[in-house]
Structure 1
Protein backbone atom coordinates (compact mmCIF):
# COMPACT_ATOMS: atom_id res chain seq x y z
CA UNK A 1 0.00 0.00 0.00
CA UNK A 2 1.30 3.44 -0.85
CA UNK A 3 1.86 5.53 2.25
CA UNK A 4 -0.89 8.05 1.54
CA UNK A 5 -3.35 5.89 -0.38
CA UNK A 6 -6.07 5.60 2.27
CA UNK A 7 -9.10 7.75 1.55
CA UNK A 8 -10.54 9.87 4.35
CA UNK A 9 -12.95 6.99 4.90
CA UNK A 10 -11.25 3.82 3.63
CA UNK A 11 -13.02 2.10 0.77
CA UNK A 12 -13.34 -1.71 0.61
CA UNK A 13 -14.25 -4.16 -2.13
CA UNK A 14 -15.18 -7.66 -0.92
CA UNK A 15 -14.92 -10.82 -3.02
CA UNK A 16 -17.05 -13.85 -2.16
CA UNK A 17 -18.02 -17.24 -3.56
CA UNK A 18 -20.45 -18.62 -0.99
CA UNK A 19 -22.47 -17.88 2.11
CA UNK A 20 -20.67 -14.66 2.99
CA UNK A 21 -20.62 -15.06 6.77
CA UNK A 22 -17.28 -13.22 6.98
CA UNK A 23 -18.80 -10.51 4.79
CA UNK A 24 -21.66 -10.28 7.29
CA UNK A 25 -19.20 -9.99 10.19
CA UNK A 26 -17.56 -7.08 8.35
CA UNK A 27 -20.90 -5.44 7.56
CA UNK A 28 -21.87 -5.72 11.23
CA UNK A 29 -18.55 -4.29 12.44
CA UNK A 30 -18.92 -1.28 10.14
CA UNK A 31 -22.57 -0.71 11.07
CA UNK A 32 -21.68 -0.82 14.79
CA UNK A 33 -18.94 1.74 14.25
CA UNK A 34 -16.01 -0.45 15.22
CA UNK A 35 -14.56 -0.09 11.70
CA UNK A 36 -14.56 3.29 9.98
CA UNK A 37 -14.85 2.20 6.35
CA UNK A 38 -17.33 1.71 3.52
CA UNK A 39 -17.90 -1.40 1.43
CA UNK A 40 -18.17 0.00 -2.08
CA UNK A 41 -18.84 -3.27 -3.88
CA UNK A 42 -19.29 -7.00 -3.28
CA UNK A 43 -18.33 -9.29 -6.16
CA UNK A 44 -19.12 -12.99 -6.44
CA UNK A 45 -17.82 -15.41 -9.06
CA UNK A 46 -20.92 -17.55 -8.48
CA UNK A 47 -24.48 -16.55 -9.37
CA UNK A 48 -26.01 -18.45 -6.44
CA UNK A 49 -23.69 -17.18 -3.70
CA UNK A 50 -25.81 -16.51 -0.62
CA UNK A 51 -23.51 -13.63 0.33
CA UNK A 52 -25.03 -11.58 -2.50
CA UNK A 53 -28.30 -11.47 -0.56
CA UNK A 54 -26.40 -10.26 2.52
CA UNK A 55 -24.92 -7.41 0.47
CA UNK A 56 -28.30 -6.54 -1.05
CA UNK A 57 -29.97 -6.48 2.36
CA UNK A 58 -27.27 -4.11 3.63
CA UNK A 59 -27.77 -1.82 0.63
CA UNK A 60 -24.33 -2.56 -0.79
CA UNK A 61 -23.76 -2.63 -4.54
CA UNK A 62 -23.09 -6.18 -5.69
CA UNK A 63 -22.48 -8.01 -8.91
CA UNK A 64 -21.55 -11.39 -10.34
CA UNK A 65 -18.52 -11.96 -12.54
CA UNK A 66 -18.95 -15.61 -13.43
CA UNK A 67 -15.56 -17.24 -14.00
CA UNK A 68 -17.24 -19.89 -16.16
CA UNK A 69 -17.92 -17.24 -18.81
CA UNK A 70 -14.22 -16.59 -19.40
CA UNK A 71 -11.88 -18.62 -21.56
CA UNK A 72 -8.86 -18.20 -19.32
CA UNK A 73 -7.84 -17.30 -15.80
CA UNK A 74 -6.12 -14.22 -17.21
CA UNK A 75 -9.30 -12.99 -18.90
CA UNK A 76 -11.32 -13.44 -15.72
CA UNK A 77 -8.73 -11.66 -13.60
CA UNK A 78 -8.61 -8.77 -16.08
CA UNK A 79 -12.38 -8.25 -15.86
CA UNK A 80 -12.24 -8.59 -12.07
CA UNK A 81 -9.46 -5.99 -11.90
CA UNK A 82 -11.51 -3.52 -13.95
CA UNK A 83 -14.52 -3.95 -11.66
CA UNK A 84 -12.44 -3.54 -8.51
CA UNK A 85 -10.39 -0.57 -9.72
CA UNK A 86 -13.52 1.26 -10.79
CA UNK A 87 -14.27 1.65 -7.07
CA UNK A 88 -10.73 2.78 -6.19
CA UNK A 89 -10.58 0.67 -3.02
CA UNK A 90 -7.94 1.02 -0.35
CA UNK A 91 -8.32 -2.67 0.49
CA UNK A 92 -9.58 -5.76 -1.31
CA UNK A 93 -11.07 -8.26 1.14
CA UNK A 94 -11.25 -11.94 0.18
CA UNK A 95 -14.10 -13.50 2.15
CA UNK A 96 -14.35 -17.08 0.99
CA UNK A 97 -13.42 -16.29 -2.61
CA UNK A 98 -12.60 -19.67 -4.11
CA UNK A 99 -10.42 -18.74 -7.05
CA UNK A 100 -6.67 -18.96 -7.63
CA UNK A 101 -5.34 -15.66 -8.99
CA UNK A 102 -2.75 -15.02 -11.64
CA UNK A 103 0.55 -13.50 -10.44
CA UNK A 104 -0.34 -10.31 -12.32
CA UNK A 105 -3.50 -9.91 -10.26
CA UNK A 106 -1.81 -10.47 -6.89
CA UNK A 107 1.03 -8.14 -7.86
CA UNK A 108 -1.45 -5.40 -8.79
CA UNK A 109 -2.99 -5.52 -5.28
CA UNK A 110 0.22 -6.24 -3.40
CA UNK A 111 -0.02 -4.91 0.14
CA UNK A 112 -3.72 -4.05 -0.17
CA UNK A 113 -5.46 -7.41 -0.34
CA UNK A 114 -6.23 -9.60 2.69
CA UNK A 115 -7.49 -13.17 2.92
CA UNK A 116 -8.76 -15.36 5.74
CA UNK A 117 -8.01 -19.07 5.59
CA UNK A 118 -9.52 -21.79 7.82
CA UNK A 119 -6.31 -23.30 9.16
CA UNK A 120 -3.24 -22.34 11.13
CA UNK A 121 -1.06 -21.59 8.14
CA UNK A 122 1.30 -22.88 6.86
CA UNK A 123 -0.63 -26.02 7.80
CA UNK A 124 -3.39 -27.21 5.48
CA UNK A 125 -3.22 -24.79 2.60
CA UNK A 126 -6.00 -25.18 0.05
CA UNK A 127 -9.36 -26.84 0.65
CA UNK A 128 -10.90 -29.39 3.03
CA UNK A 129 -8.85 -28.03 5.90
CA UNK A 130 -11.06 -29.32 8.71
CA UNK A 131 -11.13 -32.89 7.40
CA UNK A 132 -7.37 -32.82 6.95
CA UNK A 133 -6.80 -31.44 10.46
CA UNK A 134 -8.84 -34.26 11.99
CA UNK A 135 -7.11 -36.89 9.86
CA UNK A 136 -3.70 -35.51 10.86
CA UNK A 137 -4.72 -35.70 14.54
CA UNK A 138 -3.39 -32.23 15.29
CA UNK A 139 -4.11 -30.83 18.75
CA UNK A 140 -4.92 -27.34 17.47
CA UNK A 141 -6.59 -25.95 14.38
CA UNK A 142 -7.81 -22.46 13.61
CA UNK A 143 -7.86 -19.54 11.20
CA UNK A 144 -5.29 -17.19 9.69
CA UNK A 145 -5.49 -13.69 8.22
CA UNK A 146 -2.73 -12.90 5.76
CA UNK A 147 -1.76 -10.55 2.97
CA UNK A 148 -2.26 -12.19 -0.41
CA UNK A 149 0.73 -13.18 -2.51
CA UNK A 150 1.10 -15.24 -5.67
CA UNK A 151 1.64 -18.34 -3.50
CA UNK A 152 -1.64 -20.08 -2.63
CA UNK A 153 -2.47 -19.30 1.02
CA UNK A 154 1.16 -18.34 1.44
CA UNK A 155 1.26 -14.58 1.90
CA UNK A 156 2.72 -12.76 4.92
CA UNK A 157 0.82 -13.48 8.14
CA UNK A 158 -1.13 -10.92 10.15
CA UNK A 159 -3.27 -12.68 12.76
CA UNK A 160 -4.12 -16.23 13.84
CA UNK A 161 -6.70 -17.72 16.22
CA UNK A 162 -6.60 -21.29 17.52
CA UNK A 163 -9.17 -23.81 18.67
CA UNK A 164 -8.58 -27.21 20.25
CA UNK A 165 -9.37 -30.25 18.13
CA UNK A 166 -11.54 -32.55 20.24
CA UNK A 167 -11.67 -36.33 19.99
CA UNK A 168 -15.33 -36.38 18.92
CA UNK A 169 -15.06 -33.53 16.41
CA UNK A 170 -16.52 -33.98 12.96
CA UNK A 171 -15.34 -31.67 10.16
CA UNK A 172 -18.66 -29.81 10.37
CA UNK A 173 -18.46 -29.29 14.13
CA UNK A 174 -14.81 -28.22 13.94
CA UNK A 175 -15.57 -25.87 11.04
CA UNK A 176 -18.29 -24.15 13.06
CA UNK A 177 -15.91 -23.55 15.96
CA UNK A 178 -13.24 -22.17 13.65
CA UNK A 179 -15.79 -19.92 11.94
CA UNK A 180 -16.53 -18.20 15.25
CA UNK A 181 -12.85 -17.25 15.42
CA UNK A 182 -12.84 -16.12 11.79
CA UNK A 183 -15.67 -13.69 12.53
CA UNK A 184 -13.64 -12.28 15.43
CA UNK A 185 -10.21 -11.87 13.86
CA UNK A 186 -11.00 -10.77 10.30
CA UNK A 187 -12.76 -7.52 11.29
CA UNK A 188 -9.89 -6.80 13.70
CA UNK A 189 -7.26 -7.12 10.98
CA UNK A 190 -9.34 -5.04 8.57
CA UNK A 191 -9.81 -2.39 11.26
CA UNK A 192 -6.05 -2.22 11.81
CA UNK A 193 -5.47 -1.77 8.08
CA UNK A 194 -8.12 0.93 7.77
CA UNK A 195 -6.58 2.82 10.69
CA UNK A 196 -3.19 2.75 8.97
CA UNK A 197 -1.69 0.61 11.73
CA UNK A 198 -1.21 -2.51 9.59
CA UNK A 199 1.07 -2.34 6.55
CA UNK A 200 3.06 -4.56 4.25
CA UNK A 201 6.51 -3.18 3.60
CA UNK A 202 9.23 -5.02 1.68
CA UNK A 203 7.06 -8.14 2.02
CA UNK A 204 7.19 -7.86 5.82
CA UNK A 205 4.14 -7.12 7.98
CA UNK A 206 4.37 -4.08 10.22
CA UNK A 207 1.99 -3.32 13.07
CA UNK A 208 2.35 0.18 14.51
CA UNK A 209 5.73 0.30 12.77
CA UNK A 210 6.96 -2.87 14.44
CA UNK A 211 7.83 -6.02 12.52
CA UNK A 212 5.48 -8.90 13.28
CA UNK A 213 6.77 -12.46 13.84
CA UNK A 214 6.49 -14.89 10.93
CA UNK A 215 3.26 -16.40 12.30
CA UNK A 216 1.71 -13.02 12.97
CA UNK A 217 -0.15 -12.01 16.11
CA UNK A 218 -1.71 -14.87 18.08
CA UNK A 219 -5.25 -13.86 19.00
CA UNK A 220 -6.62 -14.74 22.43
CA UNK A 221 -10.40 -14.62 22.69
Structure 2
Protein backbone atom coordinates (compact mmCIF):
# COMPACT_ATOMS: atom_id res chain seq x y z
CA UNK A 1 0.00 0.00 0.00
CA UNK A 2 2.82 2.38 0.84
CA UNK A 3 4.48 1.69 -2.52
CA UNK A 4 1.33 2.51 -4.50
CA UNK A 5 0.13 5.43 -2.35
CA UNK A 6 3.47 7.22 -2.54
CA UNK A 7 3.43 6.98 -6.33
CA UNK A 8 -0.14 8.27 -6.45
CA UNK A 9 0.98 11.26 -4.37
CA UNK A 10 3.92 11.83 -6.75
CA UNK A 11 1.57 11.87 -9.75
CA UNK A 12 2.96 8.64 -11.18
CA UNK A 13 -0.38 6.82 -11.10
CA UNK A 14 -3.76 8.29 -12.04
CA UNK A 15 -5.76 6.68 -9.26
CA UNK A 16 -6.82 7.04 -5.65
CA UNK A 17 -7.41 4.57 -2.85
CA UNK A 18 -11.04 4.84 -1.70
CA UNK A 19 -10.72 2.60 1.35
CA UNK A 20 -8.73 -0.15 3.02
CA UNK A 21 -10.48 -3.21 4.43
CA UNK A 22 -9.00 -5.75 6.84
CA UNK A 23 -10.46 -8.90 8.37
CA UNK A 24 -8.57 -8.11 11.56
CA UNK A 25 -9.54 -5.60 14.22
CA UNK A 26 -7.46 -3.04 16.07
CA UNK A 27 -5.50 -4.72 18.86
CA UNK A 28 -5.75 -8.18 17.34
CA UNK A 29 -2.15 -8.43 16.12
CA UNK A 30 0.95 -6.23 16.19
CA UNK A 31 1.53 -6.49 12.45
CA UNK A 32 -1.96 -5.44 11.44
CA UNK A 33 -1.94 -2.64 14.06
CA UNK A 34 1.18 -1.24 12.42
CA UNK A 35 -0.54 -1.45 9.05
CA UNK A 36 -3.58 0.40 10.43
CA UNK A 37 -1.26 3.17 11.65
CA UNK A 38 0.11 3.46 8.12
CA UNK A 39 -3.40 3.70 6.67
CA UNK A 40 -4.22 6.42 9.20
CA UNK A 41 -1.08 8.36 8.31
CA UNK A 42 -2.40 8.65 4.74
CA UNK A 43 -5.86 9.72 5.96
CA UNK A 44 -7.43 6.79 4.12
CA UNK A 45 -10.77 5.34 5.29
CA UNK A 46 -10.17 2.09 7.18
CA UNK A 47 -12.90 -0.53 7.52
CA UNK A 48 -12.33 -3.60 9.70
CA UNK A 49 -14.37 -6.66 10.60
CA UNK A 50 -12.49 -9.42 12.37
CA UNK A 51 -13.26 -12.83 10.90
CA UNK A 52 -11.70 -14.46 13.97
CA UNK A 53 -13.92 -12.48 16.35
CA UNK A 54 -16.96 -13.27 14.21
CA UNK A 55 -16.23 -17.00 14.30
CA UNK A 56 -15.84 -16.94 18.08
CA UNK A 57 -19.10 -15.02 18.47
CA UNK A 58 -20.90 -17.77 16.53
CA UNK A 59 -19.08 -20.73 18.10
CA UNK A 60 -22.20 -21.85 19.97
CA UNK A 61 -24.11 -22.21 16.69
CA UNK A 62 -22.31 -25.42 15.85
CA UNK A 63 -21.87 -24.22 12.26
CA UNK A 64 -18.63 -24.67 10.34
CA UNK A 65 -16.71 -21.71 8.94
CA UNK A 66 -17.90 -22.69 5.46
CA UNK A 67 -21.47 -22.44 6.71
CA UNK A 68 -20.83 -19.16 8.53
CA UNK A 69 -18.89 -17.54 5.72
CA UNK A 70 -21.84 -16.29 3.60
CA UNK A 71 -23.17 -14.32 6.58
CA UNK A 72 -19.72 -12.89 7.32
CA UNK A 73 -19.36 -11.82 3.68
CA UNK A 74 -22.81 -10.22 3.77
CA UNK A 75 -21.79 -8.16 6.81
CA UNK A 76 -18.58 -7.07 5.06
CA UNK A 77 -20.57 -5.99 1.99
CA UNK A 78 -22.79 -3.91 4.27
CA UNK A 79 -19.68 -2.31 5.78
CA UNK A 80 -18.49 -1.34 2.30
CA UNK A 81 -21.80 -0.32 0.72
CA UNK A 82 -20.92 3.40 0.63
CA UNK A 83 -17.85 2.81 -1.54
CA UNK A 84 -17.86 2.44 -5.33
CA UNK A 85 -14.37 1.30 -6.35
CA UNK A 86 -13.54 0.59 -10.00
CA UNK A 87 -11.14 -2.15 -8.94
CA UNK A 88 -10.01 -3.75 -5.70
CA UNK A 89 -6.63 -5.24 -4.83
CA UNK A 90 -6.17 -8.18 -2.48
CA UNK A 91 -2.71 -8.09 -0.94
CA UNK A 92 -1.88 -10.22 2.08
CA UNK A 93 -5.57 -11.06 2.47
CA UNK A 94 -5.65 -14.72 3.48
CA UNK A 95 -9.37 -15.50 3.17
CA UNK A 96 -10.60 -17.10 -0.03
CA UNK A 97 -13.36 -14.89 -1.40
CA UNK A 98 -16.78 -16.47 -1.75
CA UNK A 99 -19.16 -16.18 -4.68
CA UNK A 100 -21.02 -13.17 -3.27
CA UNK A 101 -17.85 -11.15 -2.75
CA UNK A 102 -16.41 -12.12 -6.13
CA UNK A 103 -19.58 -11.02 -7.92
CA UNK A 104 -19.79 -7.73 -5.99
CA UNK A 105 -16.32 -6.34 -6.73
CA UNK A 106 -13.71 -6.87 -9.44
CA UNK A 107 -10.89 -8.20 -7.28
CA UNK A 108 -7.25 -8.32 -8.33
CA UNK A 109 -5.28 -10.94 -6.43
CA UNK A 110 -1.50 -11.26 -6.32
CA UNK A 111 -0.11 -14.78 -6.62
CA UNK A 112 3.67 -15.36 -6.38
CA UNK A 113 4.00 -17.62 -9.42
CA UNK A 114 3.78 -17.45 -13.19
CA UNK A 115 0.37 -18.07 -14.83
CA UNK A 116 1.22 -21.72 -15.44
CA UNK A 117 3.13 -22.07 -12.17
CA UNK A 118 2.33 -23.73 -8.84
CA UNK A 119 -0.58 -22.74 -6.64
CA UNK A 120 -0.63 -22.34 -2.85
CA UNK A 121 1.43 -20.19 -0.49
CA UNK A 122 4.65 -18.54 -1.64
CA UNK A 123 6.57 -21.11 0.40
CA UNK A 124 4.89 -23.99 -1.42
CA UNK A 125 5.52 -22.28 -4.75
CA UNK A 126 9.25 -22.00 -4.12
CA UNK A 127 9.64 -25.61 -3.00
CA UNK A 128 7.79 -26.76 -6.09
CA UNK A 129 10.03 -24.63 -8.32
CA UNK A 130 13.06 -26.22 -6.69
CA UNK A 131 11.57 -29.69 -7.11
CA UNK A 132 10.94 -29.00 -10.81
CA UNK A 133 14.38 -27.42 -11.24
CA UNK A 134 12.60 -24.50 -12.86
CA UNK A 135 14.53 -21.85 -14.77
CA UNK A 136 12.17 -18.93 -14.12
CA UNK A 137 9.98 -17.59 -11.37
CA UNK A 138 7.56 -14.69 -11.34
CA UNK A 139 4.24 -13.40 -10.11
CA UNK A 140 0.82 -12.81 -11.57
CA UNK A 141 -2.26 -10.73 -10.95
CA UNK A 142 -5.50 -12.58 -11.54
CA UNK A 143 -9.16 -11.97 -10.88
CA UNK A 144 -10.23 -13.47 -7.57
CA UNK A 145 -12.66 -16.36 -7.94
CA UNK A 146 -13.83 -19.18 -5.72
CA UNK A 147 -11.14 -21.37 -7.29
CA UNK A 148 -7.88 -20.81 -5.43
CA UNK A 149 -5.21 -18.96 -7.48
CA UNK A 150 -6.84 -19.88 -10.78
CA UNK A 151 -9.02 -16.89 -11.76
CA UNK A 152 -8.57 -15.21 -15.17
CA UNK A 153 -5.02 -13.87 -15.44
CA UNK A 154 -4.71 -10.09 -15.81
CA UNK A 155 -0.94 -9.60 -15.86
CA UNK A 156 2.34 -11.20 -14.90
CA UNK A 157 6.09 -10.68 -14.64
CA UNK A 158 8.98 -13.11 -14.73
CA UNK A 159 12.59 -13.39 -13.58
CA UNK A 160 15.35 -15.94 -14.26
CA UNK A 161 16.49 -18.23 -11.45
CA UNK A 162 19.54 -19.55 -13.29
CA UNK A 163 22.82 -17.87 -14.16
CA UNK A 164 25.78 -16.64 -12.09
CA UNK A 165 23.72 -15.80 -9.01
CA UNK A 166 22.03 -19.22 -8.92
CA UNK A 167 24.18 -21.84 -10.62
CA UNK A 168 26.32 -22.71 -7.59
CA UNK A 169 23.22 -23.14 -5.44
CA UNK A 170 21.59 -25.46 -7.96
CA UNK A 171 24.82 -27.43 -8.26
CA UNK A 172 25.11 -27.83 -4.49
CA UNK A 173 21.60 -29.26 -4.39
CA UNK A 174 22.02 -31.65 -7.30
CA UNK A 175 23.20 -34.70 -5.34
CA UNK A 176 21.04 -34.19 -2.27
CA UNK A 177 17.62 -35.51 -1.32
CA UNK A 178 15.29 -32.53 -1.49
CA UNK A 179 12.99 -33.74 1.30
CA UNK A 180 15.96 -34.18 3.63
CA UNK A 181 17.22 -30.71 2.74
CA UNK A 182 13.77 -29.24 3.30
CA UNK A 183 13.52 -30.93 6.70
CA UNK A 184 17.00 -29.93 7.85
CA UNK A 185 17.39 -26.41 6.40
CA UNK A 186 13.88 -25.32 5.54
CA UNK A 187 13.57 -21.71 4.40
CA UNK A 188 17.18 -21.05 5.46
CA UNK A 189 18.29 -22.84 2.29
CA UNK A 190 20.22 -20.27 0.28
CA UNK A 191 18.57 -21.22 -3.02
CA UNK A 192 15.13 -20.89 -1.41
CA UNK A 193 15.96 -17.37 -0.23
CA UNK A 194 17.41 -16.31 -3.59
CA UNK A 195 14.34 -17.48 -5.49
CA UNK A 196 12.10 -15.62 -3.05
CA UNK A 197 14.08 -12.40 -3.46
CA UNK A 198 14.01 -12.65 -7.27
CA UNK A 199 10.21 -12.76 -7.22
CA UNK A 200 9.40 -10.66 -4.17
CA UNK A 201 11.25 -7.53 -5.26
CA UNK A 202 9.05 -7.41 -8.37
CA UNK A 203 5.73 -7.80 -6.58
CA UNK A 204 5.05 -4.12 -5.77
CA UNK A 205 6.05 -3.11 -9.30
CA UNK A 206 3.66 -5.69 -10.75
CA UNK A 207 0.80 -4.26 -8.68
CA UNK A 208 1.73 -0.71 -9.69
CA UNK A 209 2.09 -1.44 -13.39
CA UNK A 210 -1.12 -3.46 -13.45
CA UNK A 211 -3.03 -0.59 -11.88
CA UNK A 212 -1.42 1.77 -14.40
CA UNK A 213 -2.54 -0.52 -17.25
CA UNK A 214 -6.09 -0.46 -15.86
CA UNK A 215 -6.04 3.33 -15.41
CA UNK A 216 -4.80 3.80 -18.99
CA UNK A 217 -7.33 1.38 -20.45
CA UNK A 218 -4.80 -1.20 -21.62
CA UNK A 219 -6.58 -3.67 -19.36
CA UNK A 220 -10.32 -3.82 -18.77
CA UNK A 221 -12.14 -5.92 -16.21
CA UNK A 222 -15.74 -6.66 -17.19
CA UNK A 223 -18.19 -9.41 -16.28
CA UNK A 224 -15.56 -11.57 -14.65
CA UNK A 225 -13.15 -11.32 -17.57
CA UNK A 226 -9.82 -9.59 -18.10
CA UNK A 227 -9.78 -7.89 -21.51
CA UNK A 228 -7.19 -5.99 -23.53
CA UNK A 229 -7.70 -2.48 -24.93
CA UNK A 230 -9.59 -3.95 -27.90
CA UNK A 231 -11.97 -5.85 -25.65
CA UNK A 232 -10.45 -9.27 -26.40
CA UNK A 233 -9.93 -11.74 -23.54
CA UNK A 234 -6.39 -11.78 -22.20
CA UNK A 235 -6.97 -15.48 -21.58
CA UNK A 236 -6.45 -16.03 -25.32
CA UNK A 237 -2.76 -15.06 -25.16
CA UNK A 238 0.00 -17.60 -24.44
CA UNK A 239 0.76 -17.44 -21.62
CA UNK A 240 -2.45 -15.71 -20.58
CA UNK A 241 -2.37 -12.14 -19.31
CA UNK A 242 -0.46 -8.97 -20.06
CA UNK A 243 3.31 -9.38 -19.72
CA UNK A 244 4.68 -6.37 -17.84
CA UNK A 245 8.38 -7.34 -17.76
CA UNK A 246 9.50 -4.32 -19.83
CA UNK A 247 7.48 -1.83 -17.81
CA UNK A 248 8.71 -3.31 -14.53
CA UNK A 249 12.34 -3.35 -15.68
CA UNK A 250 12.08 0.35 -16.59
CA UNK A 251 10.41 1.25 -13.30
CA UNK A 252 12.95 -0.68 -11.26
CA UNK A 253 15.82 0.94 -13.18
CA UNK A 254 14.32 4.38 -12.54
CA UNK A 255 14.16 3.58 -8.81
CA UNK A 256 17.68 2.16 -8.79
CA UNK A 257 16.27 -1.27 -7.95
CA UNK A 258 17.31 -3.14 -11.11
TM-score normalised to structure 1 length = 0.79
Q: Where does residue 125 of structure 1 map in the other structure? A: 119
**Aligned partner of 1:189 among 192, 205, 210:** 210
Alignment coverage as a number of residue pairs = 197
| Structure number with higher strand proportion | 1
CA deviation after TM superposition for structure 1 residue 203, in Å: 4.6
CA gap 1:197/1:171 in 2 versus in 1, 3 angstroms: same
Q: Is the 8 A contact 1:42 1:61 kept in 2?
A: yes
TM-score (norm 2): 0.69
* Mapping for residues 39-54 of structure 1, pairs under 5 Å: 39-46=17-24, 47-48=28-29, 49=32, 50-54=34-38
**3-state SS of the aligned residue for 1:178?**
helix
Would the aligned equivalents of 1:73 and 1:101 in 2 still touch at CA under 8 Å? no
Considering only aligned residues, what root-mean-square deviation do their CA atoms show, in Å?
Answer: 2.1
* Bigger relative CO (Cα 8 Å, ≥ 6 apart): 1
The answer to whether the Cα contact below 8 Å between 1:160 and 1:217 also exists between their aligned partners in 2 is yes
- Mapping for residues 14-93 of structure 1, pairs under 5 Å: 23-46=1-24, 47-48=28-29, 49=32, 50-71=34-55, 72-93=68-89
- What are the within-5 Å matches in structure 2 for residues 82-161 of structure 1? 82-109=78-105, 112-127=106-121, 128=123, 129-161=125-157
Gaps of 5+ in 1: 1-22
Deviation at residue 201 of structure 1 after TM alignment: 4.1
Partner SS for 1:38: coil
Unaligned runs of 5+ in 2: 56-67, 170-189, 250-258
Distance 1:39 1:106 in 2: 19
Q: Which has the larger radius of gyration?
A: 2
